[in-house]
A = this chain, B = another copy of it.
Amino acid sequence: MRGEDVTDADWIAVDWGMTNLRAWAIGADGGVLDSARSADGMGMLDAGQAAFEAALIRVIDPWLPGSHARDVVICGTAGARQGWHEVPYRPVPAPAHDRRAVTTAPARDPRVRVSVIHGMSQTNPPDVMRGEETQVAGLLLRSPDFQGVVALPGTHAKWARIVDGEIFHFASFMTGELFALLAERSVLRHSLDPQGHDAEAFTDAFEETLSRPERAAARVLGLRSEDLLLDADPRAAASRLSGYLLGLEFAGARAYWLGQPIALLASGALAERYRTALEVVGADYRVHDPEACVLDGLRAVRAGLRG
């Protein structure tokens, strides 16, 4: 944000997640002129061009004066089967950035030329990512010598092993989506207050589930009983739920974090919880700004479009 006129935007960068849509107006020198976001993640939209294009234009319209067409480079769920326009996956192992791995998506609005970045896939076990590859690409542009594992919290959290500049293997966990379903849609909704955080409750719950993951389904429901019988604090209960689910993720991702240098791409409250978890398991980690990483990844793709 440097106060320039946002109508000077040279192109527009977009990261389209399951739960959010984030966009940046980029100036001719590659700097960010403005940013915006909405809750129109893939999970909130009907499949297909119409709903996705309308959601995008709602967010970026102020950056689109006149009829001059601007490049819009998108990573994430816009390329999914339930997205704007389905684009392929590249199988691992492969570099996180490939200048050919971009497809033009149809758009009605003449002010945008939309490019969607391809996802990545894995055969054994079957797994897919859309968007995280661009964050990893940006991280590796910023830290070209990084070897180890990238942790990418989110609706569908990912752990990706990086070997010699390539994504070698990865694993996805439903942690964020499970938290939202349980906190908003299950019987626990009466007993949880996801605002605020109780660090001790989180850490206890994380450690319990990391060591005894088989008890997760009983512990989660136990939050309701603790409320009914013991008038448990709803904020502590929400922190415990978060700890149980992150404990289950870390138990399943042990092969990723054990003995590996970790790059944690997270900010805000989510970063705090992953930091706590990484401290508990004694991991060697460093936190990186996910916004800076995804923007660098998108910049590399945009440079490839013009090159």
Residue numbers of A with Cβ under 8 A of B are 18, 43, 81-82, 89, 121-123, 125-128, 156, 171-175, 177-178, 181-182, 185-187, 190, 213-218, 220-222, 224-226, 228-230, 245, 248-249, 251-254
Q: How far is the CA of A222 from the CA of B218 in the complex (A)?
A: 22
Measured CB to CB, the closest approach of chain B to A202, in angstroms, equals 17
Q: How far is the CA of A287 from the CA of B139 in the complex (A)?
A: 57
Measured CB to CB, the closest approach of chain B to A184, in angstroms, equals 9
Measured CB to CB, the closest approach of chain B to A23, in angstroms, equals 23
Q: Are B126 and A225 in contact (CB under 8 A)?
A: yes
Q: Are B172 and A177 in contact (CB under 8 A)?
A: no
Q: Give the nearest-CB partner of A215 in chain B.
A: B252
11 residue pairs bridging A and B, Cβ less than 8 Å apart: A125-B218, A125-B222, A126-B228, A126-B230, A127-B222, A128-B229, A156-B187, A174-B221, A181-B182, A217-B248, A217-B249
Q: Are B123 and A218 in contact (CB under 8 A)?
A: no
Report if A228-B81 is in contact (Cβ < 8 Å); known contacts: A126-B222, A213-B216, A248-B214. yes
Q: Give the nearest-CB partner of A245 in chain B.
A: B217
Q: How far is the CA of A267 from the CA of B253 in the complex (A)?
A: 37
Report if A128-B225 is in contact (Cβ < 8 Å); known contacts: A18-B187, A185-B185. yes
Q: Are A252 and B217 in contact (CB under 8 A)?
A: yes
Q: List, in ascending order, chain B residues with CB within 8 A of A127's CB.
A: 222, 225
Q: List, in ascending order, chain B residues with CB within 8 A of A128's CB.
A: 224-225, 228-229
Q: How far is the CA of A82 from the CA of B191 in the complex (A)?
A: 11
Q: Are A226 and B126 in contact (CB under 8 A)?
A: yes
Measured CB to CB, the closest approach of chain B to A223, in angstroms, equals 9
Q: Are A217 and B175 in contact (CB under 8 A)?
A: yes
Q: List, in ascending order, chain B residues with CB within 8 A of A187's CB.
A: 18, 43, 156, 177
Q: Are A181 and B174 in contact (CB under 8 A)?
A: no
Q: List, in ascending order, chain B residues with CB within 8 A of A89's CB.
A: 228-229
Q: List, in ascending order, chain B residues with CB within 8 A of A245's CB.
A: 217
Q: How far is the CA of A82 from the CA of B249 in the complex (A)?
A: 32
Q: Are B171 and A126 in contact (CB under 8 A)?
A: no
Q: How far is the CA of A185 from the CA of B180 in the complex (A)?
A: 10
Q: How far is the CA of A172 from the CA of B217 in the complex (A)?
A: 8
Q: Are A252 and B172 in contact (CB under 8 A)?
A: no
